[in-house]
Structure 1
Amino acid sequence: MATPTGDPVGDAAGEAVQTSIMAVRLALAIADAVRRQQQRKQDAEEELPPAEQAVNETAAEVKTLVPPDISAALMTGADWPQMAQQLAGLRRAGVDLGEFLPRVGEIAVTVRDAVAANTARVAEEGTREWERMLRETLPAGPVREAILSSPTWPDIAATMARLDERGADVRSILASAHDEGVGVDTAVARVLAADAAPATSRDAMLSYGPLTTGLDIPKDLDLGNRARALRQLAISPAENERYGRWIREAMPGREREADLLLSARQWPLVAARMAHMESNDVPVREHLNRLMQDTSWEQGPKPQLGSRLVQAANDALRRPLGDAAASRVTVNTAAARAQSATLDPTKHQAAKGTTPAEAGVTPHRQQAGPAPTRGKTR
């Protein structure tokens, strides 16, 4: 925070500039997190250069490419050497600072002007759930995953809180910083000879359908790594624990079955559905009560019980509370075989007379479930 001088106008301007420096710090922290994530995927993460060397490498460009009042405040701050290291690390990873710095400068100017024009402190709710804001503001992908998995995430969240307290539009800053993060991800990937965008993973392809309708699923979803899958879907450990507790409470006396559901490979997708509903003010726990109201999931081979529980939980969550229809879906096995990509072509004609319902519809994108309203679970 700027030291008061007794001049209200000057103090307000200084405070606005100092707040804009926070926005620069946030943008650099996000860009550095993305760089590290991209290099880590290729086992090529590089350490930052020494502070003194980094300052010498970047000072001239910062003075030239960033507005004078912001660059002056930036370079006299106690954390300037650290930010210079981040800038030097980005350049060595393939980021063009001649393009990057002016855009970061635009973010800083926007924040500076917004704070300077803010005549009254915006009323705040108190404690913000910054991770939820991040999920609601940024699309799933490498930038959001890099932020949430970065060891500097607590510092990033604290910076977001301070910006918000000073009247800055944090969502707008995040959106702008996200665009820069995408550029950093692409630049670093290009240097590492990696694809600019991740290929669609097998888990993502197999998950398309009722389990993911209406959800924001990353193309490189990895359900084989539970911790990473939860991060990709922006489910915090605390949220995952809470959703697991709700499952157990909805299935009293059925601890074994609840554990099978929670240990299922596709559990992160069920948790993502619950998080989506919770953020849209849909009573998740009331929906989960259906798991014991209709236990048709008990019927079938025991080895597939976990999979049936995942389907039953997803069905219970997606159906409106007023819908009393049975949760079991009647499967037309002949039609399913007819559409199977692995079916022997000579056997196609045997099932030709049976047509599956809604043939030709892409489940993940076109069979949308009911749209819940946003908010908290009661």
Structure 2
Amino acid sequence: MTTPGPEERAGEAFTESAAEAVQTAVMAYRLVMAIADAVRRHQQRRQRGKEDALPTAEEAVNEISADVERLLPSDISGALMAEADWPQLAQQLLALRKAGVDLDQVLPRVGEIAANVRDQVAAKAEEGPTDQWVRAVRETLPAGPVREAILTSPAWLEMAATMARLEERGVNVREVLAAAHNEVLSVDQTVAKGLGAAAEPVMSRDAQLSYGPLTTGLDLPRDLDLSDRERALTQLAISPQENQRYIRWAREAMLGNVREAELLVTSRQWPLLARRMAQMETDGEPVRERLARLAEDTFWQAGPDSQLATRLVQAASDALCRPASEAPGESRVTVNTAAARATSPSVGPTKAAKAAAPAEAGTAPHRQAAPAPKSGRTR
């Protein structure tokens, strides 16, 4: 027997994690249906003094199976009906129907709960061993040289392991990071001065051009470099696992538009969209539901083909940021006067950088203007 290669082992691990996610979803389904069955029994005892007898297992399986296949996600219904206790679960469902419960209304909602559990478990399985600490650094420290230095350090894995050990001992790691930030920033500035470099990073053209609807409320490093995707993702504190997850979600949202989806996820501005999705996840916002608007609001289709990637980025930003009560528009992009001045030929680059420079070192103006995060975390 030959030893499986790396690709085979990775495929097996993916299959196992996907199966675990579905089985966890089935557990969630069981819990919800057990609660529903308990409520049915309790109500019948209160009203009649006794419970209705369950239908036979054979009757329940014959009558309910087709409805379960029709109303639940296929992977969850398949796993559910393959379980040894499926006849008992079918009896519960048929008893609910006979008690007057509309399964066409209830089962899809229960299926949504189970699917959400499945997706959460799958997302957790995709995370690397240090992903939670990438998030902690992103959510605690402002964009800038200190955050980038931490995430690109050769000692990052060791630092993440130390954070994990501190947390296990009851230490609030975020407080430690926040308290250390200003001291470490002064070290960065002192060393930079000693080397004859500017203490603060120069306002890059990417940072100037990014100001506007695409980045409102996000913290951008002043030396943002979108020409180097790997570095841009690090500057924005997006881990490789998070980036792959967001790419997959974008492709799923544009199912049937393969070329357009690839244009979106390979666009120069993609790291900014990924940063938006990461912020929304932190705030508990429904990222995938918002992205689904790309298939519904297709104003990005109209216009020159040469500008399609730009329109897709704008549409994705609109889909993520637009409140549910607002209708989509032809284009929601507005002129940002600071960026316009910064790129105007009548304004020198030095003056433009000063005009757009944030008050806080290493932090974009978006951080001063943005509302407090919903998660309640403080920096």
Distance change (3 Å), C-alpha of 1:327 and 1:150: farther
Match of 1:313 in 2: 316
Question: CA deviation digits over 1:35-89, x for unaligned, max 9?
Answer: xxxxxxxxxxxxxxxxxxxxxxxxxxxxxxxxxxxxxxxxxxxxxxxxxxxxxxx
Question: CA deviation digits over 1:17-41, x for unaligned, max 9?
Answer: xxxxxxxxxxxxxxxxxxxxxxxxx
Question: CA deviation digits over 1:225-263, x for unaligned, max 9?
Answer: 000000000000000000000000000111100000111
Q: Deviation of residue 163 (structure 1)?
A: 1.1
Q: Deviation of residue 325 (structure 1)?
A: 3.7
Distance change (3 Å), C-alpha of 1:330 and 1:161: closer
Q: For the Cα contact (< 8 Å) 1:261–1:310, is it kept in 2? A: yes
Distance in 2 (alpha carbons) for counterparts of 1:330 and 1:180? 39
Distance in 1 (alpha carbons) for counterparts of 2:144 and 2:235? 7
Question: CA deviation digits over 1:90-130, x for unaligned, max 9?
Answer: xxxxxxxxxxxxxxxxxxxxxxxxxxxxxxxxxxxx99811
Distance change (3 Å), C-alpha of 1:329 and 1:160: closer
Distance in 2 (alpha carbons) for counterparts of 1:191 and 1:340? 32
Match of 2:219 among 211, 216, 221: 216
Q: Deviation of residue 365 (structure 1)?
A: 4.8
Q: Deviation of residue 170 (structure 1)?
A: 1.4
**Tell me, which stretches of 5 or more residues in structure 1 are unaligned?**
1-125, 344-361
Q: Deviation of residue 183 (structure 1)?
A: 1.6
Amino acid at match of 2:224: L
Would you say 1:132 and 2:122 are equivalent positions?
A: no
Amino acid at match of 2:327: A
Would you say 1:288 and 2:291 are equivalent positions?
A: yes
Match of 1:178 in 2: 181
Match of 1:373 in 2: 374
TM-score in terms of structure 1 length? 0.55
Q: CA RMSD in A?
A: 3.1
Q: Secondary structure at the match of 2:323?
A: coil
Distance in 1 (alpha carbons) for counterparts of 2:188 and 2:323? 40
Match of 1:266 in 2: 269
Distance in 2 (alpha carbons) for counterparts of 1:204 and 1:213? 12
Count of aligned residue pairs for this structure pair: 228
Would you say 1:163 and 2:163 are equivalent positions?
A: no
Distance change (3 Å), C-alpha of 1:198 and 1:276: same
Match of 1:90 in 2: none
Question: CA deviation digits over 1:167-214, x for unaligned, max 9?
Answer: 222122112222222122111101110000101100000001101100
Distance in 2 (alpha carbons) for counterparts of 1:133 and 1:160? 10
Would you say 1:238 and 2:228 are equivalent positions?
A: no
Distance in 1 (alpha carbons) for counterparts of 2:368 and 2:183? 34
Match of 1:276 among 264, 276, 279: 279
Residue identity (%):
59
Q: For the Cα contact (< 8 Å) 2:131–2:239, is it kept in 1? A: no
Distance change (3 Å), C-alpha of 1:302 and 1:368: farther
**Tell me, which stretches of 5 or more residues in structure 2 are unaligned?**
1-128, 347-357, 359-364
Q: For the Cα contact (< 8 Å) 2:130–2:160, is it kept in 1? A: no
Q: For the Cα contact (< 8 Å) 2:229–2:271, is it kept in 1? A: yes
Distance change (3 Å), C-alpha of 1:201 and 1:223: same
Match of 1:55 in 2: none
Distance change (3 Å), C-alpha of 1:329 and 1:158: closer
The 5 Å alignment of 1:1-378 reads 129-326=132-329, 328-329=331-332, 341=344, 365=366, 373-374=374-375
Q: Secondary structure at the match of 1:129?
A: helix
Distance in 1 (alpha carbons) for counterparts of 2:369 and 2:328? 17
Amino acid at match of 2:249: W
Distance in 2 (alpha carbons) for counterparts of 1:235 and 1:128? 9
Q: Secondary structure at the match of 2:159?
A: helix
Q: Deviation of residue 370 (structure 1)?
A: 8.2
Amino acid at match of 1:185: D
Match of 1:107 in 2: none
TM-score in terms of structure 2 length? 0.55
Q: Deviation of residue 317 (structure 1)?
A: 0.5
Distance change (3 Å), C-alpha of 1:369 and 1:163: closer
Amino acid at match of 1:174: L
Q: Deviation of residue 368 (structure 1)?
A: 6.8
Q: For the Cα contact (< 8 Å) 1:243–1:271, is it kept in 2? A: yes
Q: Secondary structure at the match of 1:184?
A: helix
Question: CA deviation digits over 1:248-285, x for unaligned, max 9?
Answer: 00001111000001111111001111111011000001
Distance in 2 (alpha carbons) for counterparts of 1:197 and 1:137? 20
Amino acid at match of 2:145: P
Distance in 2 (alpha carbons) for counterparts of 1:127 and 1:201? 29
Distance in 2 (alpha carbons) for counterparts of 1:277 and 1:309? 19
Distance change (3 Å), C-alpha of 1:313 and 1:138: same
Amino acid at match of 2:143: A
